[in-house]
Chain A
Amino acid sequence: MNDIENSWLAERTRRHFFRDCGVGLGSIAINSMMGQLQAGQLPVIDPANPMSSRKPPLPAKAKNVIFLHMAGAPSQLELFEDKPKLREYHGKAPPKSLMEGKRFAFLKGNETLLGNQREFGRYGECGMSLSELFPHHRKIVDEVVWLRGMTTDVFNHGPAKLFMNTGFQAPGRPSMGSWITYGLGSESENLPGFVVLQSGPRGPRAGNSLWASGFLPTSFQGVPFRGKGDAILHLRSPKGITRERERSFYDTVGALNRARLKETGDPEILTRLNAYEMAYRMQTSAPELMDLKDESKTTLDRYGVKPGESSFASNCLLARRLVERGSRFVQLYHTNWDSHGGPGENLNKDFEKVCKDVDQASAALILDLKERGMLEDTLVIWGGEFGRTPMGENRKTVGRDHHIEAFTMWMAGAGLKSGYIHGQSDELGFGVVDGKVHVHDLHATLLHLLGFDHEQLTYRFQGRDFRLTDVHGKIVKEILA
């Protein structure tokens, strides 16, 4: 034996406590220690209830986030970016200087420029250009910040979606919803803090890893709500078990668990008691959430919700209801925006259909939140994983390939300017000439609005302090109110 045998005594760093507490190993002693270690910026997780609401370390503008993810990547050139020059050069080969060193998913190299296909107009005080396909967006041009200089790093759907959601292109990192609930917990005791809703013909590429908690404890992973049947998996009690019978079942399990707690003294049992009680409450709160009968016809019509039909519109309304009930991060995925020009994916009828699916409810959500005063502490983000090329694809119908150098997203709500256009791409839409916002910058800004320094919200895993923005990210100050 030598001194080093007890070197653990010298190693009581804050981090190691978090490591354990995050995974639910609790004890009263650790709890009170954590309380005193709050000086840093890492969240203080209550082991008995990891989702309990927490204050961010810095002043915050936003409390909740709704992310409308346009899966497949909508064409900015058919929606937001009127490019007269692109029309002028329609059918011509793209300038060599712009193509050098660029990689594309499907383009072979002989494609030509494709002029905008749609009528555009300028709207609102900010004069944002919008195409004929987004008539409802005209109502919100002055409510949102337009990010026309978005860029990302990867051009395949799976990796790019992961990048947009986790800041990293391979699966395995926590999703931003996980980071945010890790940082802030949730206001809801009856519903999950991080909820995922899906609409459109198929699920988003990369599946569950888009809302996985990666190395963060699974308490922080997104809970997908299902469009059909019960909203949450296994929500329904077995046939023959009424609510009263379920109560006595939960009481019995609770009594057995309390007896074991007395016997073993393990505080983890306390966490389980809490989890079972929340499960019981969710059995009524989730159906209550999904039941839209207390929404007025005006509201339903505004979103375009058809009763009994699961759609992007009903998901937008559910997003509002979730945030109302205290959920922290709600993410919607809508497919399919992947307009290559193949079957079911052309920029004509197929594209029009997706636009119609999304336009009205996106705008309605902003207006509804605003009227209810919820936009003051809720952030709404709208956009795909990348944009589309100025060149067309050589396919049977009109389409565009994946483009990562310049695309458009919008954000609205808490702490942001309204009716503000940020960023600009060049005349043909190849690259950003002004106001470039990288995905990492978007993440940094999002965390800033929620009251975090994106460099300080970290989690130690495999010997490294990981963060949503990896080693990058700058706050986009220009768009802050």
Chain B
Amino acid sequence: MERLSLILTIALISVTFSQEVVFNRDIRPILSNKCFFCHGPDEKTREADLRLDTREGAIEDHDGFFAIVPGKPDDSELIYRIAEATGDEAMPPPHAKKESLTQEEVALFRRWIKQGAPYQGHWSFEPLAKGTPPTSWEDHPIDYFINASLARLGIKPSPTADRATLIRRLSLDLTGLLPTPEETNDFINDKRPDAWTRLVDRLLASPHYGERWGRHWLDQARYADSHGYSVDGGRDMWPYRDWVIKALNDDLPFDQFTIEQLAGDLLPKRTKSQLIASAFHRNTLINQEGGSDREQFRVESVIDRVNTTGAVWLGLTVGCAQCHTHKFDPITHREYYELFAFFNNTEDANGTGPTVEVKQFEILNNGPKTIMPEKTESAQTAKWVPVRYEDYRTSSNVNLKRLPDNSLLVDKSTKQKESYELKISTNLKTVAALRLRTLPDKSLPKKGPGTASNGNFVLTNLSIMIGGKPIRLKAAFADHEQPDYPASHIIDRDKKTGWAINIGRGQKAIMNAEHEVTFLFEKPIATNGKPLTVRMEHNLHDDYLVGRFALDLSATAPSIPRGKEPGKVTPRTGKLMVMKELAKPRTTYLLTRGDFTRPNKDLGELTPGILSKVKPALPNPTSRRNRLDLAKWLVDPANPLTPRVTVNRTWMRYFGRGLVETEEDFGTQGSPPTHPILLDYLANRFIEDAWSMKKMHRLIVTSETYRRSSKARPDLAVLDPRNLLLAHQSRLRLDAEIIRDAALSASGLFTPVIGGPGVYPPQPDGIYAFTQSRKGWNTSTGPDRYRRGMYTFFYRSAPYPLLSTFDAPDFQTVCTHRVRSNTPLQALTIANDPAFLEIAQGLATRLLRTKPDGLEALIHHAFQLTLCREPSSEELSILKKYVHQQIKDFAEDEEAAQALLSSNLLSSETPPAEAAALVGLARALLNTDNFITRE
């Protein structure tokens, strides 16, 4: 079939196009693949002193031999070498292990030399073509270019997709969330001629747009919440993430967006926000391993900054020139270190460097608006009375010893997740509050109150019973709480979350001192002389027990201290790593083979400089150049790479592939654009629209090309099997985070809070079995449990499993393009991950809440919520059959049905068998290919 397709292709070319050989199209790819390695820019590997990457080199006299004699193929040594010569004379030579040129290719060379062997610069380095726009286009400019190519090959474009598909497509592309059934219906029924542009504008104005496109940008920024390498401790980079979201929502022009991230710290009268932006290049790894050479890892991060900058803005693999002059692209070894010199003058060095304190909500200005009402009752104080211990024991019967001061001390040799059961009595007639004092003790590690090696503990649950009935608790607050381990976690009913006392960044408390936590009863309880039973649980880690403690009771309840009210969010403060220039610049040398221990001092000090082959040239500096000069050069309208690379990547997100398929390589080894004039049109338009990213999105998504149906076209299987000409849209599997987001938004569990520190959705045990050190994962409860995937705390050495399973990168280095795999582990994740089961239960609850009229209506509604469309009659009957079968099955096994239900569903009026069948229905829909695909 390939043969056939090639024949057709060649036939089409010969019918459609002139016979002229075009250097960039016909000759350069061959030269680049087969010749440049030995006859290209790199002097070190150049053979026979011949270079073919420049015309001057190719026509040079080599003792009477000329590789190319313009106009005379028969006199050109090159033709002899590629067509006739044998043995070592043949080119490419046998030892190069490259295939010889085909007869067609040789013929191309002959014709090209006959034409005079004209060279062209590499397309991406050439200035943007100011293509003359057609004078009277009726179409959208994008459609004009796309349709012209299609028409030329006689291909009919696919029709526009239906409106249900369109709104789901656009919502996922612009916000990463599903439209509600109401939004879908409104759009389907919107008869106004500008219904589409209205929808586009509404979604572009959504604050979730900044999250969706921010996530794409964070891939390129290699954003993560930990340092990487082996120790991989946590870091506070979330203020930078907030900045990205806000910048995109505000439509900060891309040139400014660039300058602030690369050199925000160097701007005159810089704002705090601009300093925060400079954290872009502090997303590099830090090696906290003992015995690490600080300078080695500082150099590693500078190298990463150079390579990331090259990949993100220039679309070039500058990294190749780290060890030697680039084999194919005009980037010399020296130029690499001149770029390096821009980044070699910052204060940070592996684990040390400047930071700035940023408060949660500060950047996005989206803190909770409602202030808790002041207490009307006058402040009360508790009168604490020590309890009498009638009985005290632990779950594995290790020794709890009573000390003379009426406190209890556990035998620290226990290494288990112990629970304590304490029977206590009091003379008080009523009790309204319990106080637990944790006490330091000499026998405990680091003289702490806990049994962990640093003196800490994690108290995960505390319950109080009287006469066999639980006492309801309304609040728990402590004098000191480790970040993410607040006292409220003791009473949140989540067995895996709790209160701990380590000192967080910026906290002033002393860890291994006496601390206390107070539990308020919902209402005062009459004791009637009966004892109370207090149960303390430590379920998170082995060996994290409260070691020594005492209990007190009070008849009056103390007021809840301000800021500790239930549900109150205490804003977190992050220490964000930012850039700062050294007062005295470091000396930069070329590093031989990229080895930091081998600076080439013979070449002398290198000063900051850019790639000489990429326009514009930098003016002669009046003072030493810095990152600000580099940033300005990148977004200089005369620089053709930045706008081309940027619009191409934007295009790629919408169509699954860029106009330049090798979006990460605009060099000579990359693929040329399928639609070069369109690419340059978009690049020009981007600059003319003052680098507005939202306008670029609007331009693309308002095209007919974007709105086409994504159904496959068997008729193009031969002519354009890869859809390079875009006769139709493509079905694209959602990114890892968006799979979670879509599921959450379908289920109704979704918490739409934007920004802030990372959160900890439920994850299975044992994720850190393979890492060097155990990571803290204090599972979020309440609204944070249902945040978007992009806020899930990201440990580079052990990412949240959903993310890696669905191809999120590990953020060790820049990622400009995610792959999309399709594996059994993905199936197991959506089918069995408890987090997804919880979502399926949420969806089932939501379905029941709408009180649908019969099973069919319910299935219709489920389709609306997940796939945003109506089911076909076949789909309807598949699911009806499944639900009926499950109801029958579960009716005979009520225990199994109940096991599948959440507490909400258990307490609903729906019979368990029916509720379980709905969970099954929800689970099936979430597992369809359709659900995780943007169609």
Pairwise interchain contact B25-A10, C-beta atoms closer than 8 A? yes
Collect the chain B residues with CB atoms within 8 Å of residue A255's CB: 878
Interface string of B275-317 (1 = CB under 8 A from A): 0000000000101011111000000100000000001000011
Pairwise interchain contact B230-A157, C-beta atoms closer than 8 A? yes
Minimal Cβ-Cβ distance residue in B for A342: B290
Collect the chain A residues with CB atoms within 8 Å of residue B329's CB: 463
Q: Which of A16, A206, A260 contacts B930 (CB 8 A)?
A: A260
Is the CB of A239 closer than 8 A to any CB of chain B?
A: yes
Instruction: Decide yes or no: A5 and B810 within 8 Å by CB, A106-B290, A196-B770, A205-B772 being known contacts.
Output: no
Is the CB of B214 closer than 8 A to any CB of chain A?
A: no
Is the CB of B822 closer than 8 A to any CB of chain A?
A: yes
Minimal Cβ-Cβ distance residue in A for B26: A10
Is the CB of A223 closer than 8 A to any CB of chain B?
A: yes
Collect the chain B residues with CB atoms within 8 Å of residue A219's CB: 821-823
Which of these binds chain A: B500-508, B608-616, B658-666? B658-666
Interface of B is mostly: loop
Collect the chain B residues with CB atoms within 8 Å of residue A333's CB: 770
Is the CB of B200 closer than 8 A to any CB of chain A?
A: no
Which of these binds chain A: B6-14, B234-242, B356-364, B527-535? B6-14
User: How many Å lie between the Cα of A219 and that of B711 in the bound state?
Assistant: 25
Pairwise interchain contact A268-B289, C-beta atoms closer than 8 A? no
Is the CB of A1 closer than 8 A to any CB of chain B?
A: yes
A290 to chain B, nearest CB (A): 14
Is the CB of B897 closer than 8 A to any CB of chain A?
A: yes
Pairwise interchain contact A23-B712, C-beta atoms closer than 8 A? no
Is the CB of B464 closer than 8 A to any CB of chain A?
A: no
Collect the chain A residues with CB atoms within 8 Å of residue B874's CB: 259
Is the CB of A287 closer than 8 A to any CB of chain B?
A: no
Interface string of B721-754 (1 = CB under 8 A from A): 1101000000101000000000000000000000
Pairwise interchain contact A170-B929, C-beta atoms closer than 8 A? no
Interface string of B800-821 (1 = CB under 8 A from A): 0100110100101100100111
Pairwise interchain contact B798-A229, C-beta atoms closer than 8 A? no
Interface string of B761-788 (1 = CB under 8 A from A): 0001110111111000000000000000
Is the CB of A4 closer than 8 A to any CB of chain B?
A: yes
Interface string of A217-245 (1 = CB under 8 A from B): 11101011011110011111111111001
Which of these binds chain A: B245-253, B405-413, B565-573, B824-832? B824-832
User: How many Å lie between the Cα of A463 and that of B665 in the bound state?
Assistant: 5
User: How many Å lie between the Cα of A49 and that of B769 in the bound state?
Assistant: 30
Minimal Cβ-Cβ distance residue in B for A282: B824
Pairwise interchain contact A229-B29, C-beta atoms closer than 8 A? no
Collect the chain A residues with CB atoms within 8 Å of residue B825's CB: 223, 232-234, 279
Is the CB of A37 closer than 8 A to any CB of chain B?
A: yes
Instruction: Decide yes or no: A170 and B300 within 8 Å by CB, A23-B821, A272-B929 being known contacts.
Output: yes
Is the CB of B674 closer than 8 A to any CB of chain A?
A: yes
Q: Which of B9, B22, B898 contacts A12 (CB 8 A)?
A: B9
User: How many Å lie between the Cα of A349 and that of B746 in the bound state?
Assistant: 57
B904 to chain A, nearest CB (A): 16
Which of these binds chain B: A26-34, A353-361, A362-370, A435-443? A26-34
Instruction: Decide yes or no: A170 and B813 within 8 Å by CB, A239-B899, A463-B667 being known contacts.
Output: yes
Pairwise interchain contact A36-B2, C-beta atoms closer than 8 A? yes
Interface string of A94-123 (1 = CB under 8 A from B): 000000000101100000000000000000
Collect the chain B residues with CB atoms within 8 Å of residue A126's CB: none
In this complex, the member of A171, A207, A212 whose beta carbon has the largest number of chain B beta carbons within 10 angstroms is: A207
Pairwise interchain contact A5-B149, C-beta atoms closer than 8 A? yes
User: How many Å lie between the Cα of A245 and that of B923 in the bound state?
Assistant: 13
Collect the chain B residues with CB atoms within 8 Å of residue A267's CB: 712
Pairwise interchain contact B810-A462, C-beta atoms closer than 8 A? no
Instruction: Decide yes or no: A256 and B928 within 8 Å by CB, A206-B797, A209-B810 being known contacts.
Output: yes
Is the CB of B154 closer than 8 A to any CB of chain A?
A: no
Collect the chain B residues with CB atoms within 8 Å of residue A3's CB: 17-18, 20, 22, 25
Is the CB of B758 closer than 8 A to any CB of chain A?
A: no
User: How many Å lie between the Cα of A156 and that of B228 in the bound state?
Assistant: 14
Q: Which of B24, B676, B872 contacts A259 (CB 8 A)?
A: B872
User: How many Å lie between the Cα of A228 and that of B767 in the bound state?
Assistant: 11
In this complex, the member of A203, A223, A265, A267 whose beta carbon has the largest number of chain B beta carbons within 10 angstroms is: A203
Is the CB of B537 closer than 8 A to any CB of chain A?
A: no
Pairwise interchain contact A11-B810, C-beta atoms closer than 8 A? no
Pairwise interchain contact B807-A235, C-beta atoms closer than 8 A? no
Pairwise interchain contact A207-B2, C-beta atoms closer than 8 A? no
Pairwise interchain contact B930-A256, C-beta atoms closer than 8 A? yes
User: How many Å lie between the Cα of A50 and that of B17 in the bound state?
Assistant: 38
Is the CB of B229 closer than 8 A to any CB of chain A?
A: yes
A233 to chain B, nearest CB (A): 6
Is the CB of B860 closer than 8 A to any CB of chain A?
A: no
Is the CB of B1 closer than 8 A to any CB of chain A?
A: yes
Pairwise interchain contact B289-A158, C-beta atoms closer than 8 A? yes
In this complex, the member of A4, A157, A171 whose beta carbon has the largest number of chain B beta carbons within 10 angstroms is: A4
In this complex, the member of A234, A242, A245 whose beta carbon has the largest number of chain B beta carbons within 10 angstroms is: A234
Pairwise interchain contact A266-B731, C-beta atoms closer than 8 A? yes
B593 to chain A, nearest CB (A): 11
User: How many Å lie between the Cα of A318 and that of B896 in the bound state?
Assistant: 33
Collect the chain A residues with CB atoms within 8 Å of residue B291's CB: 105-106, 156, 402
Interface string of A17-57 (1 = CB under 8 A from B): 10110111101111011001100000000000010000000
Q: Which of A6, A172, A228, A402 contacts B17 (CB 8 A)?
A: A6
Instruction: Please report the total number of A residues contacting B with Cβ < 8 Å.
Output: 106
Q: Which of B1, B317, B711 contacts A464 (CB 8 A)?
A: B317
Interface string of B32-69 (1 = CB under 8 A from A): 01000000000000000000000000000000000000
A241 to chain B, nearest CB (A): 7
Which of chain B's residues 469-509 have a Cβ closer than 8 Å to chain A?
Answer: none
Pairwise interchain contact A463-B711, C-beta atoms closer than 8 A? no
Is the CB of B76 closer than 8 A to any CB of chain A?
A: no
Pairwise interchain contact B722-A30, C-beta atoms closer than 8 A? yes
Minimal Cβ-Cβ distance residue in A for B837: A238
Is the CB of A296 closer than 8 A to any CB of chain B?
A: no
User: How many Å lie between the Cα of A40 and that of B786 in the bound state?
Assistant: 49
Instruction: Decide yes or no: A462 and B289 within 8 Å by CB, A171-B810, A268-B822 being known contacts.
Output: no
In this complex, the member of B5, B13, B831, B833 whose beta carbon has the largest number of chain A beta carbons within 10 angstroms is: B831
Is the CB of B927 closer than 8 A to any CB of chain A?
A: yes
Minimal Cβ-Cβ distance residue in A for B768: A203
Collect the chain A residues with CB atoms within 8 Å of residue B875's CB: 256, 259
Pairwise interchain contact A263-B766, C-beta atoms closer than 8 A? no
Collect the chain A residues with CB atoms within 8 Å of residue B320's CB: 464
Is the CB of B97 closer than 8 A to any CB of chain A?
A: yes
Minimal Cβ-Cβ distance residue in A for B833: A234
A35 to chain B, nearest CB (A): 8
Minimal Cβ-Cβ distance residue in A for B828: A234
Is the CB of B87 closer than 8 A to any CB of chain A?
A: no
Pairwise interchain contact A198-B832, C-beta atoms closer than 8 A? no
B431 to chain A, nearest CB (A): 38
User: How many Å lie between the Cα of A255 and that of B148 in the bound state?
Assistant: 40
Is the CB of B714 closer than 8 A to any CB of chain A?
A: yes
Pairwise interchain contact B25-A4, C-beta atoms closer than 8 A? yes
Is the CB of B597 closer than 8 A to any CB of chain A?
A: yes
What residues of chain B have their CB less than 8 Å away from a CB belonging to chain A?
Answer: 1-3, 5-6, 9, 12-13, 16-18, 20, 22, 24-26, 29, 33, 97, 123, 145, 148-149, 152, 228-230, 232, 285, 287, 289-293, 300, 311, 316-317, 319-320, 328-329, 597, 656, 661-662, 664-665, 667, 669-677, 710-714, 717-718, 721-722, 724, 731, 733, 764-766, 768-773, 796-799, 801, 804-805, 807, 810, 812-813, 816, 819-829, 831-834, 837, 872, 874-875, 878-879, 882, 885-886, 889, 893, 895-900, 916, 920, 923-925, 927-930, 933, 935
Task: Sort A-B residue pairs by CB-CB distance and give the 9 closest, nearest first.
Answer: A463-B665, A265-B712, A207-B797, A205-B230, A105-B291, A240-B899, A171-B812, A279-B827, A33-B2
Give 13 A-B contacts (CB < 8 Å), ordered by A residue.
A3-B22, A23-B821, A27-B717, A171-B810, A172-B812, A203-B769, A209-B810, A232-B828, A234-B829, A238-B834, A265-B713, A279-B828, A462-B311
Other A-B contacts than A248-B885, A462-B317, 4 sampled, CB-CB below 8 A, are: A103-B597, A240-B896, A252-B882, A266-B712
